[in-house]
Amino acid sequence: MFEIKSGDKILSLTSPVVMAIINVTPDSFSDGGQHATVKQACEHADKVIAEGALIVDIGGESTRPGADTVSVDQELSRVIPVIEYVAKNHDVWISIDTSKPEVMEKAVAAGAHIINDVRALQEPGAVAMATSLDVPVCLMHMQGQPKDMQDSPEYENVMDQVSEFLSLRLDYCVAAGMPRENIILDPGFGFGKTLEHNYELLAKLPELHSLHLPVLVGLSRKSMIGDLLQRSVDERLAGSLAGAMIAAQQGAQILRVHDVKETVDALTVMSATMASLHQ
């Protein structure tokens, strides 16, 4: 039913696809600097593509709760070499996880096919840039900014407010000249939401389909899994897989995950089950 197009590439979203997370952000344990970070990200991309990711989402700004912002130059020096490496060595969809118009422009020039913006193109110049680049764009809902979004999230009705926000951003982008077919929607799990808000959003995910656009979901290893189960980040695989399967069953087309091999296996079981109905 759904598909996305970028240049002459077409990706069918008839059954759910996996988007692998490639973080190009130095972790506190590696002291090798930028070069080591870029090299690790390229190696990780090789691995997740071999495991069946159809999209790799490359990001140089951490947007997890409490994270600080980074400069344009810093972000570019992290993501561009990784995009160039993946574009040169693989035939896979490349998504750039950024809110900055300058990064969108250079990333697409380097080979990216999708823009993934957790700020839903609200930075100055972002709508105009994404429209002129003419690639699919993921618009995500966030309440607040990463630095303080978990301080005290509040909603009257979380799904109504998330849908309303995404619908307004969609209208704004279309009015600016962006084709509706280029837009993907994301409720933004963990972005200014309590545990209860996140599970209510997951339960009501089908409501997002009233806008008739593909839906992307990212809940892999997030606090909504860890806080519910009392599990540390490296013990969240089973919970993350359950969340991904529920999202897929609720109609999500794109699943943004860390554990690609395991998620692809689980989705293959689900897809085989669904396909047996149409024989």
Active site residues: 222, 256
User: Could you tell me the smallest distance in angstroms from the CB atom of residue 250 to ligand PT1?
Assistant: 15
Measured over the CA atoms of residue 56, residue 133, residue 111 and residue 117, the dihedral's sign is: negative
- The answer to whether 137 and 103 are in contact (CB under 8 A) is no
Which is nearest to 41 in space by CA: 96, 100, 91?
96
User: Could you tell me the smallest distance in angstroms from the CB atom of residue 186 to ligand PT1?
Assistant: 4
User: Could you tell me the smallest distance in angstroms from the CB atom of residue 84 to ligand PT1?
Assistant: 21
In this complex, which beta carbon is closest to ligand PT1, that of residue 223 or of residue 263?
A: 223
Contacts for 165 with CB less than 8 Å, ≥ 6 apart: 120, 141
Please state the separation of Cα 177 from the chain's center in Å. 23
In this complex, which beta carbon is closest to ligand PT1, that of residue 87 or of residue 195?
A: 195
**Interface residues with ligand PT1 (CB under 6 A)?**
63-65, 97, 116, 118, 138, 140, 186, 188-191, 216, 218, 222-223, 256
How far is the C-alpha of 231 from the C-alpha of 279, rounded, in Å?
A: 41
In this complex, which beta carbon is closest to ligand PT1, that of residue 230 or of residue 279?
A: 230
State the residue number with the nearest CB to ligand PT1: 218
In this complex, which beta carbon is closest to ligand PT1, that of residue 31 or of residue 68?
A: 68
- The answer to whether 18 and 260 are in contact (CB under 8 A) is yes
How far is the C-alpha of 238 from the C-alpha of 122, rounded, in Å?
A: 35
Which is nearest to 107 in space by CA: 78, 70, 137, 79?
79
User: Could you tell me the smallest distance in angstroms from the CB atom of residue 20 to ligand PT1?
Assistant: 12
83's tokens? 């995009």
- The answer to whether 236 and 226 are in contact (CB under 8 A) is yes
Which is nearest to 206 in space by CA: 159, 166, 270?
159
In this complex, which beta carbon is closest to ligand PT1, that of residue 64 or of residue 209?
A: 64
Which is nearest to 118 in space by CA: 260, 256, 258?
256
User: Could you tell me the smallest distance in angstroms from the CB atom of residue 184 to ligand PT1?
Assistant: 8
